[in-house]
Copies of this chain bind each other. A is one copy, B any other.
Amino acid sequence: MKSTATFLQRVVILLCLFLTVLSVESANAQQQKQATWIWYPGDYEVWLSNQMQNRRTERGTFFPPFWRMDNHYVLIDFHKVFDLKEPEEIEIFTEGRYNVKLNSKMVNGTPKKLTIPAGKQKINIKVYAQDRVPALYVQGKTIATDASWLVTFEDKEWIDESGKVSDQSGTEWLNAGTWNFNAPDNLPSAFKLPTTPQKAAKIDRKGQSILVDFGKETFGYVKLHGLKGKGKVSLYYGESVEEAMSTEHCETLDHLDIDQPQAKDYVLEQSQAFRYVNIQFEPGMTIADVSMLYEYLPMADRGKFRSSDEELNKIWDISKYTMELTTREFFIDGIKRDRWIWSGDANQSYLMNYYLGFDSPSVRRTMLALRGKEPTTTHINTIMDYTLYWFIAINDYYQYTGDKHFIQQFYPRMQSLINFCLERRNQDGFMEGMAGDWVFIDWADGLSKQGEVSFEQLLLARSLETMAECATIVDDKEGAAKYAKLASDLKAKLFSVYWNEQKQALVHSRVDGKQTENVTRYANMFAIFFDYFNESQKQGVKQNVLLNDKVQKITTPYMRFYELEALCAMGEQDYVMKEMKSYWGDMLKLGATSFWEKYDPTESGVEHLEMYGRPFGKSLCHAWGASPIYLLGKYYLGVKPLSPGYSTYEVVPVLGGLQWMEGTVPTPNGDITIYCSTSQIKVKATEGTGTLRFKSKSKPKAKGASFQSKGNGVYEMKIEKGKEYVVSYKS
């Protein structure tokens, strides 16, 4: 298996290099600008997410989402003004029926090629498609479709009786949406993730059945080699061997009706998630071999981590593989069941992505698919907290990428979504579950969702802060002031309502105007890394909530993510290291080859496979299981942006009990590499201006650097881009 893949990979790499050389060559020869397919921003994401999210089946039965799925605009006008030094010929490719206007005058027919004269020229192309997203690809020498083209779904170009076109438009134009469809025949509507062959690790035959083990959790299309005969073939998929063997209860399966007198390879139509496949076929049929086509989103290998602890390295590798499996057309929750886009799950995928592939297009695609289109009639995924995570994710996206343009384009969608939330507040200004609202928080036994839950108000406050910042970015001064005031009022109010001085904690909720007695971890841990507590509150919460075993424990990696982040934010890296090694390490000990939707150390055996009242309901490959990537990158390697897009950043390495660690954290256009042992820190960054901060028992030394002592043995050093620093210190 490995050699095949490697050989193929080599071919692909060589081919890519060849094509790159070719395209550079041809660009040099012709100075031709590279075109890309463009569309109305957000529409392709909605369309593609419809395709993906409606692929779910449960035991062969179609299982679509339960929230509203939006649709694209069917008729789009694309335009751009060019100033040409000399005439040039353009080629036009579209997805849909189209017409072309040059300087507002219709060009006859449906031109595939057109010569644009020299001078200032406005090209409008209007494309109609019902079944797919209207898309455009124009290639000339200097004219090429890209995100600088403007698009609208209503040009309002009426004419009067004399034929004169209206001159007061009122139409709003956005920049076109793009991804990476950079050739005329690379049609957006034909998008499919690539695949690569994978062999089975083990094949057991027994009469009319074959049990295949692919050695680890994987995703793709099963291939039956040399399938011959007439009759039924059934495939029962399992993330565990128990699941594959349970033809009655496995979550996914396929039944095929085969009639192949001659032996032929047969590839399943639908991709599935599995490690094991239990194949049963009728007498007289033969299957020579079984393999699969592994399906994946190609992504640069950027974030890295290694340390003195082999178990931790394994945790990081399996986390990375879990992210690889769940990063697809979009960031999805898990690969076995839903393959839906969930805002709360995706929020963690985004954060992990910033420390792994830094694939911003995937973040944007996912955020746009989640936001969908107007009108806003329900919470994202119907979940109140998931709407609010969407705002928080915007904030993070801007911090990590510095991409103002995305916020400028989608600020109106942000406004309408926050207005939707604000209109759903009760008379006290708090959000509580109304009919049709799912208050999720976490999968936790007996967790109350009644009344005004403190956690939701906290997320709302953070969302309003995000809105204030975005309003400033788009120069909406009135909005900025309004959202900032709403945020600070809400923060003040939630502390007066939920903070319990005796318990030294935010209580879980208020029901019928009365504080409940219950303290949960959720609001308390978020308030820590939102930096909403004063120092005394922080310490109180740490002792009375986070490190208090009497407070209901978190059993999902989902909320472990934030719990451990809160502890790290308070400098508890040693404690968190132990927790990581115990929680994720225990999953590895139980044979995990990807991380799970939920892990409860008090369960045993097949209990680990159960969820939602179904014996194999649990997903064994869930994005939110991969959080060590984020924790290790942000709180051990210690890298985070201090201003948008890493123009400034900090590196605060914390070993947390390790002997050494090293890694790479990607930035928008570069990366930061760190090595840290108990006596040496090495750091290098290719962009931005950084601050290295660390504790040392002796005065640190480094060639070409000076240190500022910040007291308490803390030192700071400036990191200039392109320079490598080797610091001697004593931990």
Residues of A whose CB lies within 8 Å of any CB of B are: 47, 50-51, 54, 58-69, 71-75, 97-99, 106-110, 126, 128, 130-131, 153-159, 161-163, 166, 168-171, 374-375, 377-378, 382-383, 433-438, 443-445, 611-614, 617
**A47 contacts which chain B residues (CB < 8 A)?**
130
**A59 contacts which chain B residues (CB < 8 A)?**
108
* B156 and A436 within 8 A (CB): yes
**A161 contacts which chain B residues (CB < 8 A)?**
443-445, 611-612
Out of B58, B109, B162, which one reaches A60, CB within 8 Å?
B109
**A153 contacts which chain B residues (CB < 8 A)?**
68-69
* B156 and A67 within 8 A (CB): yes
**A54 contacts which chain B residues (CB < 8 A)?**
74-75, 97, 128
Out of B65, B71, B382, which one reaches A72, CB within 8 Å?
B71
Chain B residue nearest in CB terms to A163: B613
- CA A361 – CA B542 in complex, angstroms? 67
Chain B residue nearest in CB terms to A101: B61
* A171 and B375 within 8 A (CB): no
* A99 and B61 within 8 A (CB): yes
- Give 4 nearest A-B pairs by CB, closest first: A170-B436, A170-B435, A163-B613, A131-B131
* A68 and B73 within 8 A (CB): yes
Out of B155, B162, B443, which one reaches A612, CB within 8 Å?
B162
The listed residue with most B CB atoms (<10 A of its CB), out of A107, A433, A612, is A612
Known contacts A71-B73, A131-B130, A375-B374; is A62 also within 8 Å of B157 by CB? no
Task: Classify the secondary structure of A's interface with B.
Answer: loop
Known contacts A60-B109, A375-B375, A437-B170; is A612 also within 8 Å of B66 by CB? no
Chain B residue nearest in CB terms to A161: B443
Chain B residue nearest in CB terms to A55: B97
**A61 contacts which chain B residues (CB < 8 A)?**
99, 106-110
CB distance from A668 to the nearest CB of B (A): 34
The listed residue with most B CB atoms (<10 A of its CB), out of A59, A64, A155, A445, is A64
Show 5 A/B contacts (Cβ-Cβ < 8 Å), sorted by A: A58-B106, A61-B109, A71-B74, A374-B374, A374-B375
**A158 contacts which chain B residues (CB < 8 A)?**
66, 382-383, 438
Chain B residue nearest in CB terms to A106: B61
Chain B residue nearest in CB terms to A153: B68
Out of B58, B68, B71, B162, which one reaches A154, CB within 8 Å?
B68
- CA A374 – CA B161 in complex, angstroms? 30
**A107 contacts which chain B residues (CB < 8 A)?**
61
CB distance from A360 to the nearest CB of B (A): 27
* B68 and A64 within 8 A (CB): no
Out of B63, B98, B159, B434, which one reaches A170, CB within 8 Å?
B434
**A98 contacts which chain B residues (CB < 8 A)?**
62
**A170 contacts which chain B residues (CB < 8 A)?**
434-437
**A106 contacts which chain B residues (CB < 8 A)?**
58, 61, 63
- CA A107 – CA B58 in complex, angstroms? 11
- CA A443 – CA B106 in complex, angstroms? 23
Out of B63, B436, B614, which one reaches A171, CB within 8 Å?
B436
Out of B72, B73, B437, B612, which one reaches A159, CB within 8 Å?
B612
**A60 contacts which chain B residues (CB < 8 A)?**
108-109
* A66 and B163 within 8 A (CB): no
Inter-chain pairs besides A64-B128, A163-B617, 7 sampled, C-beta below 8 Å: A47-B130, A51-B130, A54-B75, A60-B109, A61-B107, A62-B98, A69-B153
Chain B residue nearest in CB terms to A168: B435
Out of B64, B109, B438, which one reaches A75, CB within 8 Å?
B64
* A99 and B63 within 8 A (CB): yes
Out of B73, B163, B375, which one reaches A69, CB within 8 Å?
B73
* B62 and A612 within 8 A (CB): no
The listed residue with most B CB atoms (<10 A of its CB), out of A65, A75, A98, A126, is A75
* A613 and B162 within 8 A (CB): yes
- CA A169 – CA B131 in complex, angstroms? 31
CB distance from A353 to the nearest CB of B (A): 26
- CA A183 – CA B400 in complex, angstroms? 57
**A131 contacts which chain B residues (CB < 8 A)?**
130-131
* A65 and B69 within 8 A (CB): no
- CA A611 – CA B159 in complex, angstroms? 11
- CA A383 – CA B159 in complex, angstroms? 12
CB distance from A156 to the nearest CB of B (A): 5
- CA A61 – CA B467 in complex, angstroms? 45
CB distance from A712 to the nearest CB of B (A): 45
* A377 and B154 within 8 A (CB): yes
* B155 and A62 within 8 A (CB): no
* A614 and B68 within 8 A (CB): no
- CA A65 – CA B128 in complex, angstroms? 10
* A169 and B126 within 8 A (CB): no
